[in-house]
Structure 1
Amino acid sequence: MEERKVFLNTHTNLLELEEHMYPLVDVDSPNTFQNLFRYDQIPKIAFNDRIVPHHMPDEIWLTDTTFRDGQQSRAPYTTEQIVTIYDYLHKLGGPNGKIKQSEFFLYSKKDRDAVYKCLEKGYKFPEVTSWIRASKKDFELVKNIGLKETGILVSCSDYHIFYKLKMTRKEALEHYLSVVRECMETGIRPRCHLEDITRSDIYGFVIPFCVELMKLREEYQIPVKVRVCDTLGYGVNYPGAVIPRSIPGIIYGLMTHAGVPSELIEFHGHNDFYKAVNNSTTAWLYGSSGVNCSLFGIGERTGNTPLEAMVFEYAQLRGTLDGMDTTVITELVEYYEKELGYRAPSRTPFVGKNFNVTRAGIHADGMLKNEEIYNIFDTDKFLNRPALVSVSNTSGTAGIAYWINTYYKLPPKRQVDKSSVLVQEIKKWVDKEYEDGRITVLTDDELVAKINNVCGNLHIEL
């Protein structure tokens, strides 16, 4: 029996024993993990307490799918809108290119025109990449446009292999490898989208397939990227959870058993079970350099991992924004509202209208004394969104003055105080509202309408 090699892991500086190779496990009937995914039951999260180590890569980054997955759940963007949003992504990613890539469709003239115009910008980041069908004709299209990387769909669960493709695992593996080889023959870097990985046989199909991808990488000396697609949001980040639902387990398997390096692993999450952000962060922690996101989480069904969320996850993990300009997030919010008619739900973190608005009376009192008490960080500095306090019967003239100054972003010389005529008039109106039986806080729209009315009557200009 051949002895396994002992080698030094340069990331952990520990000696490790070479793992056994995992051959393809071809099966006559699909393994759809009915013990976990009975369709007439809520999916189960099972544990075997097999813990894998953290393995944060030396460098981590974001990639963007706003123009691909993000367009599958809304009206298509116009060419001009795509180019404008691409400009914003470039600015948001900063000089270090922390938003490394953005993927585009190529099938319509509108999308191709957008690709050409984005390429004309000459930005190094985000790199323009594509998503295509697995065909020679599409590979030539990518090559003719001048793109260096494209995504290819390689569905990996038996649900897809047996029921959608009508193939066996061996047939699917051979078909996928022939398609990837065809792509590499044109000199294009393939990005293999492992669709539905959280319902797949990780060691019976995914690992053997990725081992073969790494062989192609060596043969052609072209990087082969592996995108871990949690297509239905089944992934979990709990230590000791069983695969295929365990994101740590999947990332560990790809690195340790398939030999995929961190810089070629990218996680793509969906939010069906509210876990897209946590799973994306977990992918970083366990070895994936990339996480794939969409602006405001706009994507199929419940959406993708919100790009803006991962910007702040990055900062929390690394202790720095590495040059990312977070104020661009607010510029994008305003652009989407004005140009696209899209408004994020008001309580959405970082982008919702009320994400940093304090409504409870006792909380508002604390905010007026020191906003650090109830604001997550200096939202004015990082998002050009000063903390606001809602106006109610407990706000008083000081609270009303604070609301006016912050909502209208008045400079110090133009700010109102509690003795202002405007503030006094608004206070009278607020008191009357609650004397007449009101029990809810006043909305921004109500306050703006009343302030406009009072300013008009008193010939005051804010």
Structure 2
Amino acid sequence: MKITIMDTTLRDGEQTSGVSFSEAEKLNIARLLLEELKVDRIEIASARVSEGEYKAAKKILDWSHQHAYQDRVEILGFVDGKTSLEWIQKAGGKVINLLCKGSLKHCTQQLRKQPEEHLADIREVVKYAEEMGIGVNVYLEDWSNGMRDSQEYVFQMIRGLQAEKIGRFMLPDTLGILNHDETYEYCKKMKDGFPDLKFDFHAHNDYDLATANVYSAIKAGISGIHTTLNGLGERAGNVPLSSVIGIVKDHFHHELSINEQKLYAVSKIVESFSGVRIPANKPLIGEFVFTQTSGIHADGDNKDNLYYNDLMPERFGRKREYALGKMSGKANIKKNLEELGIELDAEEMKKVTSRVIELGDKKEMVTQDDLPYIISDVLKNDTIEQKIKIKNYALQVAEGLRSVATLSIEIDGKSYEETASGDGQYDAFMNALWKIYDSLEKPYPKLTDYAVSIPPGGRTDALVETVITWKIGYREFKTRGLDSDQTVAAIKATIKMLNMIED
């Protein structure tokens, strides 16, 4: 069976509190979804919401027409005669996802109409859409409550619309109330009762059951699933595309059009655009989900990959890592040293392992890039020389003016000085630093992520940890700095990075 994905990151996902994508961001996400990830359909907007929503929708639709994607781009519309249809047509849309009422309560209490009246209004919109050359799918809003409390109403709606020109009937668990048993029962009733119709299932995650409910919907025979990237969505969000991939491919072995290799990269871009961080333990796309922490697991991986499963990181453009900390054993450290091309004898390995465990007990973060420094410290040698040192720097900030930094740095014993402005003190510092590097024609990495951790409690003198992610060539690595001043912590992390790439 082929499972089709309709991704609604740009419509339902943007209903996440605090998330609002710009026109350019929306266009880029649409392109990434259709061209990189290869999803089957995308829902990009709600009709009549705002002028900004219209402009963004038109931009995406103009692009979709140029690339023959127009039938795969959908817009949520309302049972309002021609009003939503005209909004969609003016934007260049070819598909409306018509929001109808899927429970008797919504029909009689929100619309103040009887089912026959609502059906007549829906048929009118479907007729107008056909005249305008716009395809129609139908959302049965609050369908899950409808199946719990008013099943005859739901069946009345389907019977009343099954002869109309409707592509798909979409079954949303609007309030995220269902469990997996109910989902299977209700979806099976839809499939058994109306075997010739196409159904989609739309899961919300209020009880943390969205992924389980998608599993049950597919088991019941539903062939269309709605997702969002990173699980964005109102309240607890929608089912994440990443979770659906694993279910469809590894549990059902159904066909899916998604390009798994692009999943992580696209998810990180949406993380940046939305400002909503991906939890580190989020399946497939979280930072730590392909990281083995226990030493016994690393040992097992060395002995015929005993702790591997079907979710191989390479499928998703990632690689397996081995954490360093108090749970580390020699196997973890050996795996990391192999990545760095470093070999230690048994006694040296014992000393380094002891130090890593000691640091982990103190809750200090240890990364693969810290290992050369730990080795240098533990074995009392000079394998890592501090070739780059900050001699002095001055940072200036003033209301209404760009920040200014003056930097004096020593490289291989020779001093260099530059001054630069920037959007903030750290940006000014980096601009001065890169001016020096540019003058020396020295390569330097790109900053790809910047995270600040401040302990709770409101103390202004508390230590701040700044963790910066850098990318040089195809390699990505992190450095951290610790100080009571955030900018100083960032500068410490930067100097550590400079010595790493110098070494």
* Structure-1-length-normalised TM-score: 0.71
**Please, which moves more after superposition, 82-91 or 59-68?**
82-91
Matched, 1:261 2:196: yes
Letter in 2 for 1:175: D
Q: Which amino acid aligns with 2:42?
A: S
Distance 1:90 1:386 in 2: 25
1:50-449 matches, cutoff 5 A:
58-73=1-16, 74-94=18-38, 99-105=39-45, 106=47, 107=50, 108-124=53-69, 127-135=72-80, 136-200=82-146, 201-217=149-165, 223-238=166-181, 246-257=182-193, 259=194, 261-262=196-197, 264-317=198-251, 319=253, 324-370=258-304, 372-377=305-310, 379-393=312-326, 395-396=328-329, 398-403=331-336, 410=339, 415-418=341-344, 427=353, 429-430=355-356, 432-433=358-359, 438=361, 443=365, 448=369
What is the CA-CA distance between 1:348 and the residue it aligns to?
Answer: 0.9
Per-residue deviation at 1:364?
A: 3.4
Q: Separation in 1 of the partners of 2:122 and 2:291?
A: 50
Larger relative strand fraction: 2
Equivalent-residue separation in structure 1 for 2:241 and 2:70 (angstroms): 15
Q: Provide closer, same or farther for how the CA distance between residues 212 and 452 of structure 1 changes in structure 2, counting only shifts above 3 A.
A: farther
Deviation string 1:326-346 (CA, Å, 9 cap, x unpaired) is: 121111233234554432111
Aligned twin of 1:10: none
For 1:429-456, what per-residue CA distance to the aligned partner results, in whole angstroms no more than 9, with x for missing partners?
425536xxx265x535x66467679655
Structure 1 residue 140: Cα displacement: 1.7
State the SS of the aligned residue for 2:319. coil
Distance 1:285 1:300 in 2: 26
Q: 1:389 is aligned with what amino acid?
A: Y
How far residue 161 of structure 1 moved from its aligned partner, in angstroms, is 2.1
CA distance in 1, matches of 2:125, 2:63: 28
The answer to whether the Cα contact below 8 Å between 2:229 and 2:242 also exists between their aligned partners in 1 is yes
Determine if contact 2:54/2:91 at 8 Å carries over to the other structure. Answer: no
**Share of identical aligned residues, percent?**
21
CA-CA distance at 1:72 after TM superposition: 0.6
Distance 2:348 2:287 in 1: 24
How far apart, in 2, do the equivalents of 1:307 and 1:394 lie? Answer: 32
Alpha-carbon separation, structure 1, partners of 2:62 and 2:232: 23
Distance 1:298 1:338, change over 3 A: closer
1:92 Cα deviation after fit: 4.6
Assess if the C-alpha contact under 8 Å between 1:155 and 1:161 holds in 2: yes
> For the residues of structure 1 that align with 2:95 and 2:271, how far apart are their CA atoms?
32
Counterpart amino acid of residue 12 in structure 2: D
For residues 208-261 of structure 1, what are the alpha-carbon distances to aligned partners after superposition, in whole Å with 9 as ceiling and x for unaligned? 1111111223xxxxx3421001111222332xxxxxxx223333333333x363
8 Å CA contact retained: 1:368, 1:399: no
Return the alpha-carbon distance in structure 1 between the equivalents of residues 344 and 330 of structure 2: 5
CA deviation map 1:155-199 (0-9, x unaligned): 222332233223333333333333333333423222111111111
Q: Secondary structure at the match of 1:352?
A: coil
| Alpha carbons 1:151, 1:190 under 8 Å: kept | yes
Q: For the pair shown, which has the larger CA radius of gyration, 1 or 2? A: 2
Question: 3-state SS of the aligned residue for 1:216?
Answer: coil
Q: Deviations over 1:244-295 (max 9, x none)?
A: xx223333333333x3635x21110111122211222222222222011111
Give the distance between the partners of 1:67 and 1:456, measured in 2 at CA.
Answer: 49
Q: Which whole-Å CA distance do the structure 2 matches of 1:320 and 1:197 have between them?
A: 26
Moved more, 377-386 or 418-427: 418-427
Q: CA RMSD in A?
A: 3.3
Distance, in Å, in 2 between the alignment partners of 1:304 and 1:432 is 41
- Cα distance change on mapping 1:202 and 1:415 into 2, 3 Å: farther
The 8 Å contact of residues 138 and 168 in structure 2, kept in 1 or not, is answered as yes
> In 1, distance between residues paired with 2:56 and 2:89?
16
Residue of structure 2 equivalent to 1:34 = none
- The one-letter amino acid of 1:205's match is Y
Deviation of 1:419 (Å): 5.1
Return the letter of the residue paired with 2:312. Answer: T
Q: Is the 8 A contact 2:37 2:262 kept in 1?
A: no
Deviates more, 1:416-425 or 1:269-278: 416-425
Distance 1:449 1:281 in 2: 42
SS at match of 1:350: coil
Distance 1:339 1:170, change over 3 A: closer
Conserved? CA contact 2:119–2:160, under 8 Å: no
Q: Which runs of 5+ in 1 are unaligned?
A: 1-57, 218-222, 239-245
Matched pairs, number = 374
Greater relative contact order, per chain length (Cα 8 Å cut-off, separation 6+): 1
Moved more, 323-332 or 294-303: 323-332
CA deviations on 1:17-53 (whole Å, 9 max, x unpaired) are: xxxxxxxxxxxxxxxxxxxxxxxxxxxxxxxxxxxxx
Alignment partner of 2:222: what SS? Answer: coil
Would the aligned equivalents of 1:102 and 1:127 in 2 still touch at CA under 8 Å? yes
The 8 Å contact of residues 357 and 390 in structure 1, kept in 2 or not, is answered as yes
- For residues 360-388 of structure 1, give each alpha carbon's deviation from its aligned partner in whole angstroms, at most 9, with x where no partner exists: 34333323444x32233363320232222
Which stretch has the larger CA shift, 199-208 or 320-329? 320-329
Give me the whole-angstrom Cα distance separating, in 2, the residues matched to 1:117 and 1:154.
Answer: 28
How far is the alpha carbon of 1:129 from its aligned partner? Answer: 1.2
